């Protein structure tokens, strides 16, 4: 029997809030929010004439107190644009946890940025996240994710961008995302095959709490690690949906205890309360309990 691979242990990414780098108030507020990560956006949310001001805002922000317990990601403009090279220079200067690349179509888009970071002696801790938001990106998502599995690759996470994908395909923004589900699951298969994370797309109407809750539940059921957010009011629901429930934690702990029993030593399948449990379930249970501990450690004392 082929031994199952341990599941990848990653940072918490239940709630990933996008903050316009031009908005000083939002930048400062991000320090106190209970999201797992913050994307400081230099791309879509910043007008062309405000790009330099936004970069200067981030330069000052990163010189200030660190964000406690949160990943820091800077979304840059495409390197093929007039703004991208200056954005990447800022990334090299301030060393966020990751740089988010827009509209990634193929592995070369990631390779080019990785090479530039390496040539600049950027810290190895600066990871690369990739937006999958074009038809070509979806078609090539397997190859893009596979590149993240190669030695030395900085690729760490894929982020689905449905607004651009809808625009380019004509798929309507309907509840349930019926015609988008196959593409979403294609992204999930790719990241699970190569040990990366994937984040679900933004939900545009932050006033529609019921619709957001439903989409979070759908994203969790699909296997996404979390969701990209556009407003602080969405954080609590994302944390709840993409974090393990008390029932899930209790079940995972029971599976771990069952395999810790000396009678289970050397067995790949055991009977626990009338249910057949394999060692792959043990790996999943250990990953879930580890995630619960990370969440508990993030909570204020």
pLDDT digits (tens, 9 = 90+) for 148-164: 888 889 999 999 999 99
pTM of the model: 0.90
Contact assessment for residue 107 and residue 115, using Cβ atoms and an 8 Å cutoff: no
Q: What b/e string do you get for 173-201 counting C-beta neighbours within 10 Å, with b at 16 or more?
A: eeeebeebeebbeebbebbeebbbbbbbb
Check the annotation: does 133 bind a ligand: yes
Token pair for residue 198?
A: 């994937």
1/133 Cα distance (integer angstroms): 38
Predicted pLDDT of residue 300: 53
287/7 Cα distance (integer angstroms): 7
Q: Which residues contact 225 (CB under 8 A, 6 or more apart)?
A: 10, 13, 14, 157, 197, 198, 199, 242
For residue 274, CA distances in Å to 235, 254, 258, 262 come to 38, 13, 12, 18
**What structural domains and CATH numbers belong to the chain?**
15-242 (3.20.20.60), 246-298 (no CATH)
Give residue 195's region: left, alpha or beta (phi > 0; psi -120 to 50). left
Check the annotation: does 164 bind a ligand: yes
Q: Which of 96, 147, 146 is nearest to 122 (CA)?
A: 96
pLDDT over 70 at 214, yes or no: yes
**pLDDT tens by residue, 79-110:** 999 999 999 999 999 999 999 999 999 999 99
Contact assessment for residue 198 and residue 155, using Cβ atoms and an 8 Å cutoff: no
Check the annotation: does 112 bind a ligand: no
Contact assessment for residue 14 and residue 238, using Cβ atoms and an 8 Å cutoff: yes
Q: State the average pLDDT over residues 216-230.
A: 97
């Amino acid at each position: 029997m082929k031994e199952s691979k341990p599941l990848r242990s990653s940072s918490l990414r239940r709630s990933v809030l996008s903050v316009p780098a031009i908005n000083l108030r939002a930048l400062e507020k991000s320090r106190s929010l209970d999201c797992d990560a913050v994307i400081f956006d230099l791309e879509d949310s910043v007008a062309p004439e405000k790009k330099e001001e936004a970069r200067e805002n981030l330069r000052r922000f990163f010189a200030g107190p660190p964000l406690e317990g949160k990943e820091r990601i800077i979304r840059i403009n495409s390197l093929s644009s007039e703004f991208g090279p200056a954005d990447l220079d800022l990334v090299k200067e301030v060393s966020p946890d990751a740089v988010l690349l827009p509209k990634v179509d193929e592995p070369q888009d990631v390779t080019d940025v990785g090479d530039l970071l390496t040539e600049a002696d950027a810290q190895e801790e600066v990871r690369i996240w990739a937006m999958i938001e074009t038809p070509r990106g979806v078609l090539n998502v397997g190859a893009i994710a596979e590149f993240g599995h190669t030695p030395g690759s900085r690729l760490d996470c894929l982020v689905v961008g449905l607004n651009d994908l809808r625009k380019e395909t004509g798929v309507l923004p309907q509840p349930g995302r019926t015609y988008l589900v196959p593409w979403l699951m294609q992204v999930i298969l790719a990241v699970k095959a190569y040990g990366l994370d994937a984040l679900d797309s933004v939900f545009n109407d932050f006033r529609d709490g019921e619709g957001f809750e439903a989409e979070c539940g759908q994203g969790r059921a699909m296997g996404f690690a979390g969701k990209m957010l556009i407003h602080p009011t969405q954080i609590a629901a994302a944390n709840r949906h993409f974090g393990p429930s008390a029932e899930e934690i209790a079940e995972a702990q029971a599976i771990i205890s069952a395999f810790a029993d000396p009678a289970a030593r050397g067995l790949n399948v055991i009977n626990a309360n009338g249910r057949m449990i394999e060692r792959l379930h043990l790996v999943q249970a250990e990953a879930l309990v580890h995630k619960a501990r990370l969440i508990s450690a993030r909570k204020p004392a």
